[in-house]
Amino acid sequence: MDQNKFYMLQALKQAEIAFSEDEVPIGAVIVYNNRIIVKAHNQVETLKDATAHAEMLVITQAEAFLNDWRLNECTLYVTLEPCIMCFGAILLSRLKKVVYAAKDNKIGSHDYFINYCENKNISNNIEIEGGVLEELSTDLLKKFFINKRKEKV
């Protein structure tokens, strides 16, 4: 199995945990030296914290695990394209690579990634890859929001 798919499946497992906890089903893992060092899922509702996105949580955990805020040898796998807030944390933590599953057409930051990486004055270029196991992530998100709409009726 392709390495990106393997790690994304682990992020999807985290998204499924979020789903079971009535959180928006987004999961993330960070890989360092070809192994997962941390994993998390959205906990916005649980923690009553708008910033408790899966990406923010794994970045904080990875920094603690490595005892360094610089994650320049790490890759983030996340089931939905990061939002602008998470993109800021990705930049500041200097992640080497970001791999995401589904595109977020509402608040995704892919275009910001592209513009950022094309800026020749920037010292840390981030490699970005999207669409890895996109359908699995999209299906889980659709299922979650269909259920949410049914609850409102």
pLDDT for the residue numbered 19: 98
Place of tokens 């920037």: 122
pTM: predicted TM-score of the whole model, two decimal places: 0.91
Q: Would you say 7 and 31 are in contact if contact means Cβ atoms under 8 Å apart?
A: yes
* Position 119 confidence tier, pLDDT thresholds 50, 70, 90: low
3-152 has CATH 3.40.140.10 classification:
yes
Q: Would you say 75 and 99 are in contact if contact means Cβ atoms under 8 Å apart?
A: yes
Q: Is 55 in the active site? A: yes
Q: What is the mean pLDDT of residues 49-65?
A: 99
Q: What is the mean pLDDT of residues 68-72?
A: 98
Tell me the per-residue pLDDT of 23-35, one tens digit each, with 9 for 90 and over. 999 999 999 999 9
Distance of CA 68 to the CA centre of its chain: 20
pLDDT for the residue numbered 28: 99
Q: Would you say 100 and 26 are in contact if contact means Cβ atoms under 8 Å apart?
A: no
- Residue 127, beta-bridge partner list: 97
Q: How many Cβ atoms from other residues are within 10 Å of residue 135's Cβ? A: 10
Q: Where are the alpha helices (DSSP H) in the chain?
A: 3-20, 44-47, 54-66, 84-93, 110-118, 134-152
Active-site hit among 16, 21, 55, 118: 55
Comparing CA positions, the residue from 90, 97, 80, 88 lying closest to residue 133 is 80
DSSP 108: B
Distance of CA 76 to the CA centre of its chain: 7
pLDDT at 106 exceeding the cut of 60: yes
pLDDT at 96 exceeding the cut of 60: yes
Q: State what percent of residues in the chain have pLDDT above 70.
A: 87
**Could you give the count of Cα atoms lying within 13 Å of 42 in the half-sphere of its Cβ?**
22
